[in-house]
Amino acid sequence: MNVKPVTLYDVADRAGVSYQTVSRVVNQASHVSAKTREKVEAAMAELNYIPNRVAQQLAGKQTPLIGVATANLALHAPSQIVAAIKSRADRSGASVVIAMVERNGVDACKAAVHNLLAQRVSGLIINYPLDENDAIAVAAACGNVPVLFLDVSDRFPVNSIIFSHDDGARLGVEHLVEHGHQRIALLTGPHSSVSARLRLAGWHKYLTHYQLRPVAETEGDWSAMSGFQQTMQMLNDGTMPTAILVANDQMALGAMRAIAEFGLRIPQDISVIGYDDTEDSACYIPPLTTIRQNFPLLGATSVDKLLQLSRGEPATDNQRLPVSLVQRKTVQPPNAQVTSPQALADSLIQLARQVSLLAPKM
């Protein structure tokens, strides 16, 4: 059975006003009284009227339509970023249309972008990992439509807003070192991800600063299952870190399950630090210490900046947002009772290195 779509005439008849009045309310015109606007909006709600945004754009209306090309929404961070973008857009009087990049690679990203451009978006936000040449190519494909990237290096010559991965890496390493950890393992995201590579580079930078090297380095795909599998393999191979730095909270959840199934305790035997501070991380057992990326701030900042660009207003090309350490219950000083002979030997070698640095020059 075909259901006839609700029209402006239906809304006008229900509200007892003219077609033109309903049109002015839908298009957010200012010269409509509050009482009339409420009457029309009530009629729209009763009839489940949905404005045709594409038709409005074809008619030259000014309601901004933001296109978002995003990585897999099954992952917590991308889904929270999209939710934050949608929330800010709603408050700004803009609409959002979303295209998920279904496959890996720049061609899949371009396909999602072309799909959004076909819907006459007024600007694009791309939350998908791209290397420099690929980001430049995607920006060129957008033509005159403003585009903003959220998962690139801020050194690329494109408009971007990213979190400070260097600061996030520093906070994680410093927190473990302050608690006395020296045997630290790294569980990074996929090498194809710019964010994963930047976090890994930061970890290496600050471990080196403290004269440390990772006892193990494994690569996951951002999923909890990959975190479980990589951590279980590391433990089965005989590597026993006192702490693990993990590149996102979902992989940290999997790592925590592997540690528990191996018969070890968190944080008494192995400390864990995640990355993102997704909504669920405070509900892990125990609650996860992690690096917070403020997704509501990213959503608000990206929408505001994109709307600036779409109006032709000047905006900073690249912007870096702060991160912070959220201390919960997964970090404590290492437990000497579970230290293996190899771990003890490594610690003595490390201590000798640090003492040599402190010795007076002859």
Domains, the chain, in order of start with CATH, read 8-51 (1.10.260.40), 65-162+295-321 (3.40.50.2300), 165-293+325-355 (3.40.50.2300)
By CB atoms closer than 10 A (0-12, 13-18, 19+), residue 98 is middle
- Residue 264 is encoded by which pair of tokens? 């070890």
By CB atoms closer than 10 A (0-12, 13-18, 19+), residue 208 is exposed
pTM over 0.85: no
Alpha carbons 287 and 93: distance in angstroms, whole number: 37
Residue 6 scores a pLDDT above 70: yes
- Phi, psi (rounded to 5 degrees) for 344: -65, -45
pLDDT given at position 362: 46
Average pLDDT over residues 262-269: 93
Assess contact for 142 and 124: CB atoms under 8 A.
Answer: yes
Instruction: Choose among 51, 9, 45: nearest CA to 26.
Output: 51
Alpha carbons 277 and 171: distance in angstroms, whole number: 14
Residue 3 scores a pLDDT above 70: no
Q: Cα–chain-centroid distance for residue 330? A: 22
User: Which residues face 85 on adjacent strands?
Assistant: none
pLDDT given at position 335: 78
Average pLDDT, rounded, for the chain? 87
